[in-house]
Amino acid sequence: MSAKSNGSAATPVLYTVLLAVAIAAPFFVYPQFLMRGLCLALFASAFNLLLGYVGLLSFGHAAFFGFAAYVTGHLAKFGTVFLPYFTPFSTPRLHWLEIPMPPWTPELAILGGAFAATLLGLIIGGIAIRRQGIYFAMVTLALAQMLYFFCVQAPFTHGEDGIQAIPRGYLFGAIDMNNSLSMYYFVLAAFILCFLIIQRTIHSPFGQTLKAIRENEPRAISLGYNADRYKLLAFVISAGLAGVAGSLFALVFQIATLNNVHWHTSGEVVLMTLLGGMGTVLGPMVGAFLVAGIQQYLAAFGAWVSIFQGIIFVACVLLFRRGIVGEIQAFRRGGNKAEEEAPAPAVTSHSAAPSPAGE
């Protein structure tokens, strides 16, 4: 049996085990930590779709995560919709049109945050996708910082105070999200749904085209593919999924602050993806839970937590160039290849000897 067939057979079993562990986990581990890990894992997986499968390094993904958190928090707590507009015939100035509405239910607030992040991804991606390499990374960072200062001034973000005491509400008007277990299983269901979307995207013809563009963009263009269009669509999908993660994060911790849109958050998601394994399906999840565990259980060390993260990152770069999951997969492929290339057992002289005459 080949290494590919072995991996294909083991994948459903692995996912089943992980699902069983996730269902039982809140009875043994603090649910708030698990929900934080799931939100960050979804954020890192969305980022990995762009970095690992398209080869685009974004330093501004916190913009989608944090802006969706703000939108979801505002809709869930206040409901009023703010629409910006300019006055062209007088002194140019940004105004806000207020549309009074009651607070939204959690599922609608999350959809609103995801839609805002998707729209923002379309705008930022449309500008940044025209550049490649470090220029693309710098453009995304600059635009994300512009959004950061926008959030400082916008009326619905409440400046440096942020949006606090965000109500979790009732899911579909019936399920109380203030119950930790209910909230956890809702976050888990949303994570699984987004994970399936990522899986389908990666293994679809669209995903294979993205890999081709990553490996050799000029050749993909010569075959007739519009590389910029494919990259923009991947960017928008990644932004939307990052927005779902930010929306869930706001409801779980009932707060949305400027820290969510700060460039430090963009740096953390890069760290999670590289630690777990860029271009792997499970790598970003492993990296996210590793970083979340460090921040949770080493919080008593204060600023030393950042130093610990830096040490782990340097060690990973030096010793595990493919990331934790990437190195495990490479080890498995090496072992399976060795088994396939091993010589067949020699036939014994007894079995190979001709039968005596007359038999």
Domain count, the chain: 2
User: Do 273 and 124 sit in the same domain of this protein?
Assistant: no
Closest among 333, 282, 318, 322 to 45, alpha carbons compared: 282
Residue bearing tokens 């979340």 = 292
pLDDT tens-digit profile, the chain (359 residues): 444 444 454 678 888 898 999 999 999 988 999 999 999 999 999 999 999 899 899 999 999 999 999 999 999 988 777 777 766 666 666 677 777 788 888 999 999 999 999 999 999 999 998 888 889 999 999 999 999 998 988 888 888 888 998 998 888 888 888 888 999 999 999 999 999 999 999 999 999 999 999 888 889 888 888 899 999 999 999 999 999 999 999 999 999 999 999 888 888 899 889 888 888 888 899 989 988 888 887 777 777 777 877 787 787 777 777 888 888 888 777 755 544 454 544 444 444 444 444 44
pLDDT at 253: 92
User: Do 199 and 290 sit in the same domain of this protein?
Assistant: no
Domain boundary among 208, 227, 261: 261
**Is residue 1 situated within a structural domain?**
no
User: Do 134 and 276 sit in the same domain of this protein?
Assistant: no
Give the separation between CA 65 and CA 261, rounded to whole angstroms: 7
pLDDT at 242: 95
Closest among 115, 127, 124, 132 to 54, alpha carbons compared: 132
Exposed, middle or buried by CB within 10 Å (0-12, 13-18, 19+), for 103?
middle
pLDDT at 92: 63
**Is residue 306 situated within a structural domain?**
yes
**Is residue 313 situated within a structural domain?**
yes
pLDDT at 88: 65
**Is residue 29 situated within a structural domain?**
no
**Is residue 222 situated within a structural domain?**
yes
User: Do 140 and 190 sit in the same domain of this protein?
Assistant: yes
User: Do 123 and 256 sit in the same domain of this protein?
Assistant: yes
What's the chain look like in SS3?
CCHHHHHHHHHHHHHHHHHHHHHHHHHCCCHHHHHHHHHHHHHHHHHHHHHHHHCCCCCCCHHHHHHHHHHHHHHHHCCCEEEEEECCCCCCCEEEEEECCCCCCHHHHHHHHHHHHHHHHHHHHHHHCCCCHHHHHHHHHHHHHHHHHHHHHCHHHCHHHCEECCCCCEECCCEECCCHHHHHHHHHHHHHHHHHHHHHHHHCHHHHHHHHHHHCHHHHHHCCCCHHHHHHHHHHHHHHHHHHHHHHHHHHHCEECHHHHCHHHHHHHHHHHHHHCCCCCCHHHHHHHHHHHHHHHCHHHCCHHHHHHHHHHHHHHHHCCCCHHHHHHHHHHHHHHHHHHCCCCCCCHHHHCCCCCCC
8 A C-beta contact, residue 286 and residue 274:
no
User: Do 120 and 71 sit in the same domain of this protein?
Assistant: yes
User: Do 204 and 322 sit in the same domain of this protein?
Assistant: no
**Is residue 13 situated within a structural domain?**
no
pLDDT at 197: 94
User: Do 180 and 49 sit in the same domain of this protein?
Assistant: yes
**Is residue 266 situated within a structural domain?**
yes
The range of the structural domain enclosing residue 229 comes to 43-82+105-261
8 A C-beta contact, residue 137 and residue 58:
yes
pLDDT at 335: 55
Domain boundary among 223, 246, 261: 261
Whole-model pTM: value is 0.85
Give the separation between CA 140 and CA 238, rounded to whole angstroms: 13
**Is residue 21 situated within a structural domain?**
no
User: Do 177 and 230 sit in the same domain of this protein?
Assistant: yes
Domain boundary among 207, 231, 261: 261
pLDDT at 131: 84
User: Do 246 and 272 sit in the same domain of this protein?
Assistant: no
User: Do 287 and 219 sit in the same domain of this protein?
Assistant: no
Closest among 285, 247, 252, 280 to 269, alpha carbons compared: 285
User: Do 221 and 111 sit in the same domain of this protein?
Assistant: yes
Closest among 213, 101, 196 to 156, alpha carbons compared: 101
